[in-house]
Amino acid sequence: MPPPPSRRSILAGAASLGLAPAARAAGPAGFGPLGRPSWASDSLQAAASAKGLMYGCEVPFHRFDGTVAYRQAVARECGILVCGTEMKMEEVLPAPGRSEFSRGDAILRFARANGQRMRGHTLVWHAALPPWVAPLLGRASPVQAEDFMRRWIETVAGHYRGQIVAWDVVNEILGNETDPDRGGGLRDSPWLASIGPGYVDLAFRILHETDPAAAGTWNEDAVEQGVPWMEAKRTKVLRRLEAMRARGVPIRRFGLQSHLTSTIPIDQGQLRRFLREIGQMGLGIAITELDIDDRAFPSDVATRDRKVADFARRYLDVALDEPALLDVVTWDIYDPDTWLNDHPYRKRPDGLAQRALPLDAQYRRKPLWHAMKAAFQAAPDHTAARERLRRG
């Protein structure tokens, strides 16, 4: 059992994040000029932006860095990108006193060169923490832990200041079906244990002080589909959002991760009511990590692709009816990359690879791509709502 970190190491760990101000001012000059939009006139982004929406995807660095065809597909289809891991603490702070921005910077430069925007993912999460941080938080006093959170957010959001349209400030803060409820629905987390339930509001306030232009977003999973425990979770979300707004917390958006699973139905009525209640609070809404876990659908590719497309359409038709819905982001765009194939309980019983995303292994546009385009084309115009929410 290693000795508990000393107060000195806790403060050193926190202080290690204090980059010199000069080091933080990356600013637009640091990331290259904003280029002409790269997306094609027949792309998902073209269909989305015609209705005041944006479409984009998560970009994993290993694929981005290694494959020209992948970069070409992302440039052709997307208007907004998000890093899958490159802006998470696990990658940015690999060791005390060391920060690593090169991969996130490379993806941001690519986006700017293509006239694309960037989402930031994610500031405060119970996962993707470097191995040295959980023990540090575990022994920190609340004040020390708050200082550590502040220095972390100031470091990463300061580095990308002015470049991020919306930061996932907190991610997956509520428990799911089997998680113990820690009062008000918050899940176990090193942040909750070291700072207390106030860590959520604090994270939003720090981001707003660091980069007021970035829309602070609460990103949540498992709030999209028609089962009782998700409906109960949606109720907790709404109550917490109302309370945060009443406390003047600078939250501007709610993100539905939208990792939809074919094993659970879409209840369009429940979804519509949930999104409407969020919209009526004056918050923007984003679909932040869309993909379709197809393991309940047949092995046959043509049948499976059609069922995936129909399933996504049932979801998007309702979501895009909500004026406050701003962005639709898929969690990657390229089937072979989907995280679903790596996840133990997401594997298909037939052992086949999932077909969860808009482009297949040859970068061909699948029925899901066509369903998403049709959903954008059928959607009401969101331009006015986007403008109103931008001023919010």
Question: Which residue type, as a one-letter code, is found at position 288?
Answer: T
Closest CA to 137 of 205, 188, 69: 188
Q: Shortest gap between Cβ of 128 and ligand G3I (angstroms)?
A: 4
By the 10 Å C-beta count (0-12 exposed, 13-18 middle, 19+ buried), 97 is classed as exposed
Q: Name the residue nearer to ligand G3I (CB basis): 69 or 127.
A: 127
Tokens at 29, concatenated = 């000059």
Q: Shortest gap between Cβ of 308 and ligand G3I (angstroms)?
A: 18
Q: Name the residue nearer to ligand G3I (CB basis): 53 or 256.
A: 256
The set of residues, in sequence order, having a beta carbon less than 8 Å from that of 141 and lying 6+ positions away, is: none
Scored b (16 or more CB within 10 A) or e, 263-286 reads eeebbeebbeebbebbbeeebbbb
Closest CA to 141 of 199, 188, 193: 193
Q: Shortest gap between Cβ of 290 and ligand G3I (angstroms)?
A: 11
Backbone angles phi, psi at 303, to 5 degrees: -65, -45
Q: Name the residue nearer to ligand G3I (CB basis): 202 or 222.
A: 222
Q: Name the residue nearer to ligand G3I (CB basis): 127 or 243.
A: 127
- How far is it, in rounded angstroms, from Cα 325 to Cα 334? 24
Q: Name the residue nearer to ligand G3I (CB basis): 49 or 330.
A: 330
Q: Name the residue nearer to ligand G3I (CB basis): 333 or 385.
A: 333
Question: Which residue type, as a one-letter code, is found at position 333?
Answer: I
Q: Shortest gap between Cβ of 338 and ligand G3I (angstroms)?
A: 8
CB contact at 8 A, 257 and 288: yes
Q: Shortest gap between Cβ of 21 and ligand G3I (angstroms)?
A: 29
Q: Shortest gap between Cβ of 192 and ligand G3I (angstroms)?
A: 18
Q: Name the residue nearer to ligand G3I (CB basis): 263 or 303.
A: 263
Q: Shortest gap between Cβ of 218 and ligand G3I (angstroms)?
A: 13
Q: What sign results for the dihedral spanned by CA atoms 147, 152, 155, 161?
A: negative
Q: Give residues in contact with ligand G3I (CB under 6 A).
A: 60, 84-85, 88, 127-128, 171, 221, 257, 289, 339
Question: Which residue type, as a one-letter code, is found at position 149?
Answer: M
Task: Name the H helices within the chain.
Answer: 7-15, 21-24, 44-49, 61-66, 68-77, 89-92, 102-113, 133-139, 142-159, 190-195, 199-210, 228-246, 268-280, 301-319, 367-378, 383-391
Closest CA to 310 of 371, 260, 373: 371
Q: Shortest gap between Cβ of 172 and ligand G3I (angstroms)?
A: 7
Q: Name the residue nearer to ligand G3I (CB basis): 128 or 232.
A: 128
